[in-house]
């Protein structure tokens, strides 16, 4: 039977790369994002038959409800929900960060993930199978200057994933939190408000993770036998590790 994956944030980066890998492996796709032109292009590239595109904002509960209600019948038995849509905005210290940016990150990375999960989970439980794959981040475990609200939203994703596993005990539904480090996508362009030069500087002289690296990990996670649950998977490029504690001296 053809399997179905719902991918939020399919218009770019990890989500887009995942769409490609799952399509190559014969999956049906429900591809979500706000940029309609990119969704249409994906539909054409990946094949009209096995692709349903849904243009909406995950942070708007009514839009998510409408999208779920309108999934065509043949795509309704969702096997995987890949909660990938998300963003970081700004890198200012907390004392000068933009509150609107914080609100947008909470609305997208936390509330968007809530809505998608709560609406698609009952069907998975009913069918006795399914997989919620959440997109966390190393920023959810490891603090860094300017990571403030973004890292906190990803810490939420980590603990929500663990708690989901508890609630889903005995249902056959799997939950995984993928936690990447430095990866070159549109992430930094978005974080720096479209400043491409500033975004490029983040990756200059490094060998960052690529969207394909992450998509392969997501596909591998999803392809484990049904009795295997990858709880969390943290991955960094070799060029990234940790700093010592910062000590302020008088």
Task: Give the CB-nearest residue to ligand NDP.
Answer: 13
Q: Based on the shown chain and the rule CB under 6 A, indicate whether residue 90 belongs to the binding site for ligand NDP.
A: no
Q: Based on the shown chain and the rule CB under 6 A, indicate whether residue 138 belongs to the binding site for ligand 8X3.
A: yes
User: In the complex with ligand NDP, which residue's Cβ is closer, 33 or 147?
Assistant: 33
Identify the H or E element spanning 173.
strand 173-180
The answer to whether 33 and 39 have CB atoms below 8 angstroms apart is yes
Which 3-state string (H, E, C) describes 69-106? HCCCHHHCCCCEEEECCCCCCCCCCHHHCCHHHHHHHH
Phi-psi category of residue 240: left, alpha or beta, with phi > 0 → left and psi -120 to 50 → alpha: beta
Output the CA–CA distances (angstroms, integers) from residue 153 to 71, 94, 170, in the order listed.
28, 14, 28
SS3 at position 230: coil
Least distance to ligand NDP, CB of residue 25, Å: 20
Touching ligand NDP, residues 149-178 (CB under 6 A): none
Least distance to ligand 8X3, CB of residue 147, Å: 6
The answer to whether 118 and 169 have CB atoms below 8 angstroms apart is no
Touching ligand NDP, residues 91-150 (CB under 6 A): 108, 135, 137
Q: Based on the shown chain and the rule CB under 6 A, indicate whether residue 35 belongs to the binding site for ligand NDP.
A: yes
DSSP 138: G
Q: Based on the shown chain and the rule CB under 6 A, indicate whether residue 137 belongs to the binding site for ligand 8X3.
A: yes
Active site residue 115: no
How far is residue 91's CA from residue 93's CA, in Å, rounded to a whole number?
7
By a kind-dependent CB cut-off of 5 to 8 A, residue 173 interacts, out of ligand 8X3, ligand NDP, none, with: none
How far is residue 63's CA from residue 112's CA, in Å, rounded to a whole number?
10
Candidates 34, 111, 165, 198; binder of ligand NDP (CB under 6 A) is: 34
Candidates 84, 158, 161, 177; binder of ligand NDP (CB under 6 A) is: 84
Catalytic residue among 115, 144, 150, 203: 150
Please give the positions annotated as active site: 150
Contacting residues toward ligand NDP, per CB under 6 A: 8-15, 33-35, 57-59, 84-87, 108, 135, 137, 180, 182-183, 185-187, 190
């Amino acid at each position: 039977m053809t399997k179905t994956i719902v991918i939020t944030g399919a218009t770019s980066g990890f989500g887009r790369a995942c769409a490609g890998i799952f399509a190559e492996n014969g999956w049906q796709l429900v591809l979500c994002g706000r940029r309609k032109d990119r969704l249409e292009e994906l539909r054409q590239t990946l094949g009209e038959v096995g692709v349903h595109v849904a243009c909406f904002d995950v942070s708007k509960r009514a839009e998510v409800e409408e999208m779920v209600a309108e999934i065509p019948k043949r795509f309704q038995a969702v096997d995987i929900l890949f909660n990938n849509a998300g963003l970081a905005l700004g890198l200012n210290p907390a004392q000068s960060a933009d509150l609107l940016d914080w609100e947008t990150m909470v609305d997208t990375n936390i509330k968007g993930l809530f809505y998608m999960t709560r609406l698609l989970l009952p069907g998975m439980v009913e069918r006795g199978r399914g997989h919620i794959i959440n997109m966390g981040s190393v920023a959810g475990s490891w603090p860094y200057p300017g990571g403030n609200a973004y890292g906190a939203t990803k810490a939420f994703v980590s603990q929500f994933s663990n708690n989901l596993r508890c609630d889903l005990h005995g249902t056959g539904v799997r939950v995984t939190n993928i936690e990447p480090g430095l990866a070159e996508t549109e992430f930094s362009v978005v974080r720096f408000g479209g400043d491409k030069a500033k975004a490029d500087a983040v990756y200059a002289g490094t060998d960052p993770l690529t969207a394909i690296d992450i998509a392969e990990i997501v596909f591998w996670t999803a392809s484990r036998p049904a009795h295997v649950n990858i709880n969390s998977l943290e991955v960094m490029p070799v060029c990234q590790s940790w700093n010592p504690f910062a000590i302020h001296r008088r």
